[in-house]
Structure 1
């Protein structure tokens, strides 16, 4: 019979999996306490949270929630970064921190939108623009297109006005 604290821990992990859009797995071996606190703070600013759980309990929670198996990356001292909304900001934060910590933090992979992702895919996610950046780009494209249409429409009317003016000047002469 499993101990009650383990059952409670599996339930907590399951609720985190349900509440969040996904999670990344990172190897934190070698991080100092100060670095870990800094990373947790930076992740909180992006809407993500880093937790440490026993790997076997995470395996059980993943099976219970019918999530993809990521047993190959659940080895050694790993932490789990749960993100609420979009994975881009959390992945960027992890990638930046891993580069800044000179390889102490290692991104191993995770689960994004119900699919298992490896470290290369997490790094590719980090290269994507955020949702706000994409919306800004779309707004810029739309306003540029609208401006171009206005210039064209204005050009037709001003061209017509110039033609009428030239014809009237010719008739006056």
Structure 2
């Protein structure tokens, strides 16, 4: 086997491993971004724990087919970058969607969340979901509100009884 083929097979194995490990994958068309814009985007993604790569589409297609993600292959045309999120499924979509609002050259193409292929519209919907921490805070707040109201009510009853017995 020639060396070039070995390198390609190793790269496909690397891509397959990353796609398999990722909770969320977002594909974008980055053509037209300046170096400064691309650097800014990469920094934001890196700070959020998202890996951002550009691979040959043919190699990504081979890895995707190996994993049964055939629906992803149709979006691998032209210059495509891949954002891989390993923890919160909404983070890559949210960062890329927010960045695309200010930088019209960046276009969301598709995504994969836990093995399901999403088109650009579904990726944008995914981006609108608040971060995990915000959702947890809202849930805890909804638990706290009834308890606070109950405590307020019990305190009001206690104060009323105290004022009646004082009279």
Do the two structures share a fold, i.e. TM-score over 0.5?
yes
Match of 2:149 in 1: 148
Which residue is equivalent to 2:61? 59
> CA-atom RMSD, angstroms?
1.6
Per-residue CA shift, 1:76-126, capped at 9, x if unaligned?
Answer: 11011101111222212101111111x100000110111000111111111
Compute the displacement of 1:68 (Å).
4.6
> Normalising by the residue count of structure 1, what TM-score does the alignment of the two structures yield?
0.88
Deviating runs (4+, > 6 A) in structure 1?
none
**1:93 matched residue in structure 2:** 95
Q: Deviations over 1:26-79 (max 9, x none)?
A: 001111222111111110111111101111111111121223522221111101
2:12–2:60: 8 Å Cα contact kept in structure 1? Answer: yes
**Rg bigger for which structure?**
1
Structure 2 residue runs without a partner (length 5+): none
Q: Which runs of 5+ in 1 are unaligned?
A: 167-173
8 Å contact kept, 1:68–1:111: no
CA contact (8 A) 1:59 1:69 kept: no
How many aligned residue pairs are there?
A: 165
